Amino acid sequence: MVKSSVALLCKSTSALKRHKIYEISEKYLKEITHLYLNGKNLDELGDEMALCQCLTVLYLYDNKLKSIPKYLNLSQLTHLYLQNNHISRIENLNSLEKLEKLFLSRNCISIIEGLEGLTRLQELRIDNQNLDPGESLIFDDRSLNSVANSLICLDVSGNKLDTLQDLSNLHALISLNVSNNSIQSIHDLSTSLNKWSNLKEFHIQGNPVMKTARARDVIIVTAKRLEILDDKAISEPNRQFLENWNQYKSFNLELSRCPRNRQITLGTKPELTDLINQEFTKVSCKL
């Protein structure tokens, strides 16, 4: 068992080099803002963490922690890095009211919960959890609703998800990574995209739905503000081309559903179809 200590904490801050040895004390720990405890083989944190009252950034990745430690009075913490541990549950975060970034990638978490009170959380990375066979990541509605107004970046890639409907309420999202999951329905995808009106970056490669004909086109037309799709920038001419093509198809579909006499009336106005074709051709030439 490897447990943290006052000595280890003192050695794990970049400010150590700027202080003489006799200055390293509990008083010093009360002043540090960044603590580097990553890769220390830790499986437990001691009560001495309570001394770090001014801590804003805590690196605890690449350890052997089985649970999120109780951070006592770390009320100033804004960044918490816990990726690549053995954590199975999100807990003990209620007191971290200023937390903005939470990294939990490559752990053993099956339910996204315990986020109540994190009203300032902007970024959550919980990708590639070590899930049991047949299990997929589950979302607690109460937790998601707690961060719906603040969360702008979410990574849930590699978690065997087959739907995105549970994420629909996250209306503030700007960047979303759902790559390498099991999403199949283009209708389900379109419904969710309509809810994320601020989305600018979207990663969905490695899902069965992307094998659907023109899936990429559907995403671009649906997500009006999207700028990057699977690491590829979306040009404005490309977007305009697809939107015009979508409008043209909608026009033809509506026309086919009209009564016969109305079709004849519309058919006597070839300038309408010509106008659509002209716009379609102009945008095509820009590509």
Write down the domain spans for the chain.
6-234, 235-287
138-176 residue pLDDT tens = 999 999 999 999 999 999 999 999 999 999 999 999 999
Distant-in-sequence contacts of 163-170, Cβ < 8 A, 24+ apart? 163/188, 164/188, 164/189, 164/192, 165/191, 165/192, 166/139, 166/141, 167/139, 167/192, 168/192, 168/195, 168/196, 169/141, 169/144, 169/145, 169/195, 170/144, 170/196
Percentage of the chain beyond pLDDT 70 is 73
CATH topology for the 6-234 domain = 3.80.10
What's the confidence (pLDDT) of residue 263?
A: 44
* DSSP code per residue over 54-66: T--EEE--SS--S
Greater confidence, 268 or 197?
Answer: 197
Instruction: Please tell me the predicted confidence (pLDDT) of residue 253.
Output: 52
The model's pLDDT over 218-261, given as tens digits with 9 standing for 90+, comes to 898 888 899 999 999 987 776 775 666 565 455 455 555 655 54
Q: Is the pLDDT higher at 227 or at 280? A: 227
In this prediction the pTM is: 0.80
Residues 6+ apart with CB under 8 A from 240: 283, 286
